[in-house]
Chain A
C-alpha cells in the first residue's frame, strides 16, 4: 500500500469514526468519544487514537464481531452498535455472532425493530449477517423463525466460514437430542477451527450468575474430545477472558446492551475482566492464530491479543 493510499484510508476512517462513534453525533452523551482520532488500519495500535485496530487484517482471514445480551433497545445498545459499524468499515468483518438475550422483554414485532433492526441498521444495510443463539430472555419460537437471526427455525445449528466451523447451541435447553447432535457434528466437522457459542457460561467469575456447572459437566468433555478451540458465552453482563481450560479459550461477553456494574469478583482464573461499561468484540482467525479485540461503548480497547491454534 502506498503512502498516499494509507493517507486516504486514514482520512476516510477519521470521517467514518466522526459519523459513527457514539458521542460524535450526540452531544448530550455522558462519556463522549475523544475527537482526536487517527487510525492505522495496518494492524498496529495507533497511539493516542480512538479507533485503534489490533487485528492484523490478513488476506483470507475470517473476521467477525461478537455481541451478547444486547437486545435492550436502550441508548447504550445503540452506541455499541455505532462503534461496531465504525469498526466494520475499518476491518471489514462481515458477520456477527450473538450470545443470547437478543431481545429483552416483550417480543412484539416493534421490539424486533427497536431492539435489533434499528440499532444494527448500518450493519444490516452493509450486508452483515447475524447468527443468533438463544438466551433465557429470548422467545425460542419467534427468534428461531426470524430470518435476520439466521437460525433457520432451529434452536441449535452449525455453519461454516472459511476454515472455521461455528456451532450455535441452545444452553437453555440442552436435552439429550441436542447433545447427540453436537457430538455427531463436532465429530464430523472438517473445520480447522471449531468455535462454539451459547448463552450460559461454563467458566466465569461474576457475582450475579456464576458458571453453569451442570452444563459444564455435559459440554466440556465433548469440547475436549473434539478439540474445540474457543467458546463464547454471555448471560453475565460483563466481559471476561478466562484462563484456558485444557487448552480451550473461554470468553464471556454479556455487556453489549445490559451491564452489571462491579459484578466481577477477584479471581485467579480470569486473565482480563471489564465490568464498568458495555462493549463488543472483534475476532480475526487466520490459519494459525485467533486475534481478538474488545472495544467498549466509548471506543476504548479493553482487551486484545493473539492466541495460537492449539490443535
Chain B
C-alpha cells in the first residue's frame, strides 16, 4: 500500500518536472525568438537608413526618365554604401533558423496547402542566380508572396518586401530594385 503511494508520488513528481521543463523551454524559445526578431528589425532599420541618405523618395512624375533616373541613382548610392555586403548579413545563421521555423510552422498549419497552391499558381520562377547588393533581374517577374506567410513574418519597413524565388526567401528593396539579402532553402520541401 505504502509502496504504491510512493510510486504514484514519484510519477506525479516526474510529470511536474517534465511539465516545468516544457514550459520553461517554450518560454526560453519565445524569448530567443523575440530577441532574434529584434536583431532582424535592427539590421533592416539600419538598411532603411540608406534610403533616407540617398534621398530616394516618392515624388510622382509624368516622365519615366525622371523616375528611372531616381531609381538608378538610389541603386548606385546603396551599392556603393554596401560594397562589401555578403549573403547572410541580415539573414544571419540564427535569424535564418528563426525564419525557417516561422515559415515551416505556417506551411504545416491549416493554410499550408493553400499557400503551396498559391505559390504554384502565381508564376513560379526559373532558377535564378541571386546576388546580394545586385539588381533583381529586371525582366524576370516577381512572384507574389502569399498573405498568410506575410502575416507570420516580421514586419518590414519602408520599401522592403519579402519575395520568393523557388524555395529561397528574398529581402527585396523595391526602391532600388536591389537584392538586400536572401535565405536559401527557406521554404520546406512539399
Interface of A toward B, CB cutoff 8 Å: 105-109, 111-113, 136-137, 139-142, 144-148, 151-153, 171-177, 179, 200, 209-215, 217-218
Contact = CB atoms under 8 A, between A and B. Distances in A.
B147 A147 contact: no
Given A108-B68, A218-B148, A172 B142 contact: yes
A148 B62 CA distance: 6
A197 to B, nearest CB: 16
Interface of B: 58-65, 67-68, 70-71, 111, 114-115, 117-118, 121-123, 138-139, 141-151, 155-156, 159, 161, 174-175, 177
B68 A136 contact: no
Given A139-B177, A148-B62, A107 B145 contact: no
Closest 3 A/B residue pairs (Cβ): A112-B64, A153-B58, A214-B118
Contact of A106 (B63, B67, B70, B138): B138
A106 B150 CA distance: 28
A144 B161 CA distance: 15
Contact of B71 (A141, A175, A200, A209): A141
18 contacts: A108-B64, A136-B144, A139-B138, A142-B67, A147-B60, A152-B60, A173-B145, A173-B161, A174-B150, A175-B156, A200-B121, A200-B144, A209-B121, A211-B121, A212-B121, A214-B148, A215-B146, A218-B148
A212 B144 contact: yes
Contacts of B117: 210, 213-214
Contacts of B149: 214
B178 to A, nearest CB: 11
A214 B146 contact: yes
Contacts of A212: 118, 121-122, 144
Given A146-B60, A148-B62, A214 B147 contact: yes
B150 A173 contact: yes
Q: Which of B58, B111, B115, B142 gathers the greatest number of chain A CB atoms within 10 Å?
A: B142
A142 B147 contact: no
Contacts of B155: 175-177
Nearest to B147: A174
A17 B69 CA distance: 40
Q: Which of B139, B141, B151 gathers the greatest number of chain A CB atoms within 10 Å?
A: B141
A210 B145 contact: no
Contacts of B175: 141
A218 B139 contact: no
A176 B103 CA distance: 16
